[in-house]
Every structure is written in structure tokens, then in C-alpha cells.
Structure 1
Amino acid sequence: MEQPPFAKPSVTVADVARAAGVSKATAARVLGGYGIVSDAVREKVLAAAKALDYRPNELARSMTTGRSGAIGVVVGDIENPFFSSAVRGITDVARAAGYTVILANSGEDIAAEKDAIRTLIAKRVDGLIVAPSRSREIDHLRDLQRSGRPLALLDRAIPELAVDTVTVDDREAAEAATRLLIEHGHRRLAYVTACDTPEHTYRDLADIHTASVRHRIEGFLSACEAARIPPAGRSVWLGANSRQETRRLAMERLKPPQPPTAVLASDSLIALEIFKVARELGLSIPDDLSLITFHDADWTSVTSPSVTVIDQPVHQLGTAVAELLVSRLKGYNGAARHMVFPTRLVARASVAIRNPPDTSI
């Protein structure tokens, strides 16, 4: 039997230095991208590295330069098209700036978020972008900030934390969508979110620990209050944090005696499950159930009927937060910046006029 070849020994900086006829320190400066050398020496070292097929030892380089060339990103749910699109924007900017991206998924769980951040720090990432799962449990983010490693927040602001942040105006977006439903005669409304409480019941905004969700519920309830629609705990559905749970909620609450006539979904994954359950229950969209969702996912424009959406500039959010972080990595040390992007309500065919308007609450 033919024996497998022995592994080829790794080419070291010392090997490159000997081949280029320079000192090891000079070769390290060229290969590590730091310090000053002449163009002629740089060309000799790079030519030797190419001829020897030199591959840098990233850990050793990070220990020498203090930089890994990597950015850590922690998001709530990579399966959610919102986060995947934002991460694409982040990676586009990072790659152009010479950084790689290491991605971690928290599952909107604070313990998993803390573990992910610890792991990324152990990998010596140069900076982090985080979509925080809790706005009131932030000691780990404070520690990260105090460490001097740049931190930027995606989609969810934490006013108590003076770091660069990129969000949309969630409150205004939810309020505008709810007003649209009310103007079309709807009075039995529901807002559906993946956010949850230990009791799986909405009682008060103080129980909602994710900033963007709290702002959206504020907008939803504000529009209801302005229209003199009495607030009700069952109008805010919590715990739609998986396909199975969203389906269970929809199956339970879209049935008589008084199901909502309109639903505002906090993301497109939730909206898709509600759309499917409505079909299974024989409900017509929009005649029996009107539907609006945050995020203009691809499926929303090709269903029958197409779905009215709150379009968020998600890729732009990703590019913006990455640009803020990269500027910190390049030496910017000014005050924390908070960029708020507008949203756009895209009216399609999933909202019907209730004629006459609902009178029962």
C-alpha cells in the first residue's frame, strides 16, 4: 500500500528572511505590515514569501502586532433574513478594509451572547459588532468597552452605553404601520414578536428587555391609544421565537371567538408562519386577516397576495456599523455616534378595508 506523503513543514519568517537576504526582524515587519522598510527590501521579502509559499501564523502575528485582522460579530438569529443581510453589509466593508469577520449567533439568549463575546475575545478579534439581546443586562458590554477594544451596536441602542450605534426608527415605523391598519377600519389588532417573558404574557413595557422590540411595541400601543382602542394584553403576542412556537400562537389566537382582523409581525419569519397558518385555517388574506411585517424579505413580494412591509435599509445598516467600527480601528477616538435610518412602508395587497369598521374589541 502506498504510504501518504509526510506533511510539508511550515515555512517560517526566518526561512523567508534567509531567502530574501534580510534579517528576521525586517522580514517580520514586511510580512506583518508594520514598521518602515524600503520598497526594494519589501519587494525582495514578498518575492521570497511567494516563492516559498509562506502562510502567516495568525496567532503569532496577532501577539506580535497586537492585531488579528479580524472583527467579531454577534447577532440574534442568523436564520433571520434581517441579520443575514446586515452581516453581508458588514463583511463587504470589513473585507474592503482588510479584515475578516468571525460570526457568532446568540439565539437572543443573554448567556449565549456572553459566551460568544468571551470566545471572540479569546480569538483576539480587533473589535466587535453586537446586536444585544438585552438592554438592561449589559455588564459584559461595559467590561468590553472598558477593555479598550472597539465596540459597535447593530439595530439595538443602549443609551447607557456610550458606543457607536446604528438603528432604524422602530417606534415611528410601528406607529405608522398600525395607523394604516386603523385607518382601514381595523380595531382588533395584534403585534407579534419573538421577545418573551417568563410568564409568556405581555403586561408592561418594563418587561421587554430588547430595545428595538420595546420601541416597536411603544409605537403599536401609541397608535392604538390615539385611536381610542383599549390596550389589551392579548394584543401583544410574545414568544414567537421559532417556527413551532409561532405556529402554536397563530393556531391558538386566529380562531374564534374574537381573533384579530389584522396582525403586525416583528419580522418576516414570523409573518411567513402566520401567513401559512391563516391558509390552513381557511382564512383569506386580506379579507379575513390583514398582515404587515417588518423587513422586505424576498418572499413577501411574490406571494398571493403580496405582503405590505416595513422596508428597513438592512444592508445599509450593516455597512454603516462596520464603517463606524473600522474608523475606530483606524484611530478615530471622538464621541460615540448614533446613526438612525428611516424606514419605508411599502403598501401591497395584504391589507383590506374593513367595511363597516370593527366595533367589537
Structure 2
Amino acid sequence: MSRFNSESYSKIKGRGAQKNVHNRFFELSHEQRDDFLNYCAIEGEQPDQNKTEYLKVFPKTIVNKVKSPDVGMAYSMNMYQGCEHGCVYCYARNSHEFWGYGAGLDFERKILVKADAPKLLEAFIKRKSWQAHPIVMSGNTDCYQPAEKKLEITRACLEIFLKYKHPASIITKNALILRDLDLLKALAKDHLISVNMSITSLSEDTRRIMEPRTASIKKRFEAVNLLSEHGIPVNVMMAPIIPSINSHEILALAKLASEAGASKFSHSIVRLNGAIGQIFADWLHKSLPDRAEKVLHQIEDCHGGTLSDSRLGTRMRGEGQIAKQINDLGKLARLKYFKHKSMPCLNVDLHESYKDGQLRLF
């Protein structure tokens, strides 16, 4: 039986999610009633302006200790909550509910801005008890999303990392990272920076509907190439791999990543926890109706019959025959195109001498 019964809809341009969903922590919910929509149609008004709001927030801390052992990072920081890139599958959508918003359109249109992030970062890494460990920028939401072009909070944080010779890593899918090439090159001289570039497809048609406000595939590969040429190690992440959407592109994408100079290729299998399952299924039936049920069933096959999977050690890799085929292709891609490549360890030894902002003589 189909999970989607709407016969007609108006696609919201430039967004991944096509609706807002109820915040599970709220007793009350908000919905657009048919009589309101009819009124807007009669009056010639738009029921939804589809505008992005930037809301300043003032957290007391910025660096988070990551307790999950299977995500590949120990500490992370996020300059923004919510992400205008609009990737429909994004695991970070659920976190927007903790801020009082929805995981659907709210996640893409209500961006929480931590303007004090550089000041908070500086205070954190100057603590006497702190021993340098790589801090990942964008552990949750992209630090180079569109707001960064104007606000430059990420750039200011990179300046802090450089000033105190502290190691950092970046996860992004935006070529805007090249704006900060000067800082990245300076950090790379002391092995203090690495970049994880997310590239999920070679198809621009797929990217446009699945990641509507991200940089083009061409620009991302150009960024990988330029970063690598300047000695900045890059890991290309094909994350997530979605059966019957981008699963056929693994080898081809890995080959291009290697040719662009990437030092590593990694992947994960899509999982649709919390509200993301509803958001993704709605998007899938509206954007790719011919294969919607097939894709959903194949995702379920990777996670024990459900779209949601929170099991540590299994949730990223999946299980079952389809997951095995995907993981085997990922392994083959690494053996074929990255056999003699690896990501270097970041330098954690310099920071102690620079904690006061300058090199100690004795």
C-alpha cells in the first residue's frame, strides 16, 4: 500500500523538505487548513512566503564532546543550527526540535546564528585543563551554509585556530570554503587542518532536488582539487548512499575523487530517524514518484525492516543483502582508487605553547 495519497501538490522551490512536521516535544501543533488556503487563492495571496529567517542565539558554550563512538569525532562545534542547504535526508533535522522548531521546513528556514562562536571557542581552547584534540566544525550543520557568506563566523573561528595553533577539521558541501583558502593554507603548514567534502551524487538533477541549496557537483570537485593542490588533506564523503538513488554511482564517484586529489573516500548508508522518515517519504513521493516505494523498501531492508536505526556500529553501515552490496562496493572503491592514500593525523603538539596567543621562549 502506498504511504502517500495526495494527488496534487505545489512544490516548494529551493527547499528539500516539502512540508513542516509536528514537533514531537510540543503538545500543540500548527497546520494550514483548507479554508485558509482557499482564502489565499481567492485573494491572490501566498500562504507561505518561503523566506529564510536568521535568529541570533547566545549559548554559553560552543564545543561539544561527542559521546557516540561510531561518528569519527570526539569534539565538535556548530556555528549555526538549522541549515539552508535543505538536504532532505539530513540527520541534523531532528535536533531542530530541541530548539522549539520543526524538522521539516523550519530546519531550512529558521537558522539559529551563534555570533559569539569565535569568542566562546577562544575561551574554551585557552583553558589550562584543555589538552589539544581536533575539533570538528559542522558536526551537526554545515559551517559554510549560505549565511556564512555574509556573517563570516566560520572564518573568524579559523583565525582563532590559527592564532592558537590548534587542530581542526571541517565537514562541508559548499565551495564557499575556498574563500578561506589563505587561512587553510596557513593551518596546513603545521598540519592543523583537514577537510571532509560531502559529495553524494554525480547527477546535477539529483543534487538539485535532494540538496537544493548546496554548491554544484562541479564546484565541489573543483574545491577538492584546489584544496589538495595546496596540501590540505581532503576526505570525500559519499554520505549518505541511498539505494536506487545514488547507490549506482559509488565507483565512478570514488574514481573522480581520487583524480581530484582526495586522500580518502568514505561512505555511509542513509538512515531516517525520528521525523526524517516522514519528511523524506513525502519528498520522495513528490520528487521521484516512479520509484518511491522501491527506495523506501530498500532502505528498510538495510535496517532490519525499518527506516529508523539507532544501533551503534550498525546504523551507519546497515545490514542485509543490499547494505552488503553497498559496503562491498565502497570497500572495492577504496582498494581500487585509494590503496596508497590516507589522511594524515593532525598535529596536537603545538597548541600548548600557544595557549596565551604567542610562542613561549622558555
Question: Fold-level match, TM-score > 0.5?
Answer: no
TM class, shorter-chain normalised? 0.3 to 0.5
TM-score (norm. length: structure 1)? 0.32
Larger Rg: 1
